[in-house]
Chains A and B, each alone.
Chain A
């Protein structure tokens, strides 16, 4: 086992860098905004999407039955409706309460009030909605679930939260903060590497055909095809660029010299997806996750002092030492 010890030590060093909680503040605020926007976007169709058989667009029970094939233990809105039934609360009322709770949790996360309970309840309610409406779910739902999952496990509250201001909550272990940021960072690398690899395997991304198809097919066709035709020679370059940016993300995002460039490229790509294809929620969740993972506090490569863990106070923390935040395995 002795030869493996240096590897194990390096692995632990990689997993537990010392970090401030700025990134966690960004993640909490970003996800709070997302949950709020998610609830508001679906406000007019909430009951229609999640009503039971014969009352909505497609039966909620059907979506839940499909989810149950995977596992009956996956949370769903049907559980809440069943609990409401015991208290003589009808399905409509339960759905309304669930929606209102989700909105409230989004606002609480935005403010940083009761951060941990708000994160847990938001994760649970969003998961229930995503699973019950599984037939209607898309990528943004999975990323929201993942973001909320990591948020509720992370050492909340952060320095920007009202919890910290009002309750004088204790500072968290900077290595634990570093661990959860590392989890998010590695996760983002998986997302882009696999996405980039899958795109590289399709011929349409090399000749611009896929970009044309994705921008002209409903409901993503916000841009006029006539405008796209004018830029037809740029489509193959853009398509290849997207493949390269995604595939190169897990390598170049760790290198200090290329990090900012890669991050700006990724953020620009998601902003463009949001604006040009109308995938606002998807764009927002990806921007939030990227900023929290690699954006906030990654430019200043100066040692984290005990004082910098607080709002400028001189409060000491036993585990804070002079390691650079966001230290990377490739010299970042």
Chain B
């Protein structure tokens, strides 16, 4: 067996990275004020998050070999994300609707869809990501690609309006009183094959 020391060293490094990743996620939640902890702790959460980011090499330049090496290892081991699933709270979900405008004035409604349930689950995850501020730079591109996938099924459509909404499900008490989901439009795009123009 290779020296136990080598295995032990790898163990320490491996779990140090996992600790940094996991607690970076927790500290981020504290810093955002998303937890039940007092708001006075937010600035400490932010500082702790920066320390964790430093350990992970994220403070280095994008081209840094150390940063890339750590990132590659984290992805290879599947430990690049923390384990704060469904925590600290469950947010609402999101809905993307395409209004399809035809030459003859007809309007149809369509959503991006896939064949299997496994892929549908992933598509819903994508929509929730798009609402995240961090994905703002690629939001429009992804919406256009999703619109294009619908366009291929309806080639005679003249224009597509993509409407992205946040959906708030009712609380249990509201549900008992007969209230349903409430929708809030987050953004929309008017798209045509020749030109794409952001409306809002």
Q: Enumerate chain A interface residues (CB-CB to B < 8 A).
A: 11-12, 15-16, 41-45, 48-49, 53-54, 56-59, 62, 66-67, 69-75, 127, 130-131, 133, 135-139, 141-149, 173, 175-176, 179, 183, 186-187, 190-192, 194-195, 197-205, 208-210, 212-214, 216-219, 225, 228-229, 232, 235, 278-279, 281
Given contacts A146-B78, A201-B34, list 17 more A-B pairs with CB under 8 A: A44-B116, A45-B116, A48-B114, A49-B122, A57-B149, A70-B68, A135-B142, A136-B123, A141-B78, A190-B22, A198-B82, A200-B88, A202-B87, A202-B89, A214-B90, A218-B93, A219-B121
- Contacting chain A: which of B69-77, B101-109, B183-191? B69-77
| Candidates A11, A66, A138, A146; contact of B121 at CB < 8 Å | A138
B117 touches A15 (CB 8 A): no
The 8 closest A-B pairs by CB, nearest first: A202-B88, A145-B78, A198-B87, A136-B122, A41-B118, A146-B78, A45-B119, A201-B35
Taken together as a complex, chains A and B put the C-alpha atoms of A72 and B63 apart, in Å, by 10
A49-B114, A53-B145, A57-B112 known; A146 and B79 CB under 8 Å? yes
B30 within 8 A of A: yes
Check: B158 CB closer than 8 A to any chain A CB.
no
- Which residue of chain A lies nearest to B122 when distances are taken between CB atoms in the complex? A136
Contact A217 B116 (CB under 8 A): no
Partner of A57, one of B72, B75, B123: B123
B83 touches A190 (CB 8 A): yes
Give every chain B residue within 8 A of A75 (Cβ-Cβ). Answer: 76
Asked if A205 and B171 sit within 8 Å, CB to CB, the answer is no
B172: nearest chain-A partner, CB-CB: A212
Taking Cβ atoms with an 8 Å cutoff, the residues of B that contact A are 1, 4, 7-8, 11, 14-15, 18-19, 22-23, 25-26, 29-30, 34-37, 62, 67-69, 71-72, 75-90, 92-93, 112, 114-126, 129, 138, 141-142, 145-146, 148-149, 169, 171-172, 175-176
Residue from B83, B129, B142 having most chain A Cβ neighbours under 10 A: B83
Q: Which residues of A contact B7 (CB under 8 A)?
A: 15-16, 179
Contacts of A42 in B (CB 8 A): 116, 118-119
Q: List 18 A-B contacts (CB under 8 A).
A: A15-B7, A42-B118, A48-B115, A57-B112, A57-B114, A58-B126, A58-B142, A71-B75, A136-B125, A176-B1, A192-B83, A198-B29, A198-B82, A198-B83, A199-B87, A201-B88, A209-B172, A219-B120
Q: Is the interface of B mostly helix, strand, loop or mixed?
A: helix
State how many angstroms separate the Cβ of B74 from the closest Cβ of chain A: 8
Query: What is the distance, in angstroms, from A51's C-beta to the closest C-beta of chain B?
Result: 10
Q: Enumerate chain B residues within 8 angstroms of A16, measured Cβ to Cβ.
A: 4, 7
Q: Which residue of A lies closest to B62 (CB)?
A: A69
Tell me which residues across on chain B come within 8 A of A74, comparing CB atoms: 71-72, 75-76
Asked if B119 and A136 sit within 8 Å, CB to CB, the answer is: yes
